[in-house]
Chains A and B, each alone.
Chain A
């Protein structure tokens, strides 16, 4: 490192000032409401190598530090001052973009004719065309249904707007003026960056700045290595499922083997299920990609809150993802809801990491964020009223030394809810409940964070509820080190009445006047042995009516008499319970997943994914669905799961069948 350790921090601060300022320019001048509510936009400064070297701490999407930009940069043969490149295409940018609504811009920044770096920003546009308003449909089976695809092209050439390109883009969106407004906000931020970078160069010199960019990335790497080196060498494996594919309802497995050697880390996602014909694929190109490293970056930032925010911190990390899988799909796989899958990647990262370190990594949290929308006819205008009901997430997992967070998890903890008073003023519904459930807290020495119960009633005909991102209706968030698994999400209509229906994951839910909808989000898993929980905390949870007296005794072995912990009786009861119970589970995966994996053991899933990799990527999900159905319904496999040979012969018979029905083709 050539830059001294004082100047490095000064440059780090100066670059942070630039990206924060960019962020606020977008925030203040962006058009779309969505931008302000969810801060779904991003900004940064990118080294010529394609690595982000400055990234804001407090504005915009906070977790895209790992974004790979080298392919997008290489897609343009030559750059001149004043160029601005536009793109939203995952497949020609090597996974820089990951779904079409994110419109990215970047601008080469020159100093006296020399390219120094790039300024980059993006915004989640509320519509880029495609099947549905908003451009995100879970059932979209290829990217062309998800909107207009824009490969990297110059929107400005040497400062001149390419009106033809802009017209073409705007003609393909449902909200052209808003999108152009948002693009202007992005352009303003790029110009801010250009002006400010110039000031830094004039203050500190061009060579210093160039060297500083290099060294900041090196500084990131060094800081990160210092943390990784503390993790014991070894390979830590974990897997979990994505449930939201409403087209097949087959759970999709994400598998990770995380290896550490010295200060190097390897993330190997081999064994992850094939890409599917629904919008859950994550185009990463198998790189050390932002959506594969959110959990890891969160871990690094927890261990060192002052770690420099640049992609250097991911330099020690190598990644393997087989092609044609959910996490490395081939075009034209759809990817609108890739964040549902990315959240599960966070869970498997924590599942693997928590086997290696025991100080900060939590049990599984809610692992979902459902954006629930309601639409109903607007009797005044004749159109529709559409409103987000609430972002529904759930609680975090219990943590080493701390209870889980009630009502919020790390993967979408940046979202804000909507005041009930505004909701009810906007649409004719009555919110009956927006609070924590009673007596459902997953137990642990450090209990899981609580999910939220949301219950509302509709009064008008033709009300429709849709949702994207609903998960964890089938498999619970896992508990850790003796802590219980979390609770399942649940969606019911008219609970407690004769007309009660369990809906599961909402696709499209049509309601009758007076119907009541009850959505429960998951509580996170507990952490640690409940019999070691501080009895006073148990007492407090009883007094606050989070848990019952009975639960205090059965789950925690805490005896409470007249609002006091009876220490003697508690000790006695705890001893009894300890003697009676089985060994503590390092992971409590929940009975549903245990049952599923008895039928469909991880080793069989491994075999199947190996076998499927032999097939063309576009056929795999078809084969997988066929085999999954055959195997899970075949009574032969109820007792004895299928062997490698069973799977192989099943695949071969499907292949034969296909050959037979396809005249003229030969294998």
Chain B
């Protein structure tokens, strides 16, 4: 898979629908049981650590479930995700960014959003 597919693959590991943040359908919340992930799509090559952001979105009156999802992703990256995954031309390495998870405001008081940060390094020659 190419670099863009690799990012889509990674953010699709967590049972919530994942969208490139630039192409989110207007009915994403309704189509996906009131929850989904958006992610920043950017690529580079060897020896360049990219700080990429993503967001967990959820329609809810509490933070409990979205915080649990953020914790699940944190644990997954630390304990289960391979050192790197093979992609066209090399590998993709992902580790947590700092801060990893931050609660974010939304105009709609019933929308909960958690911003996530990861470092992605594309171990490719170009």
Same complex: no
What residues of chain B have their CB less than 8 Å away from a CB belonging to chain A?
Answer: none
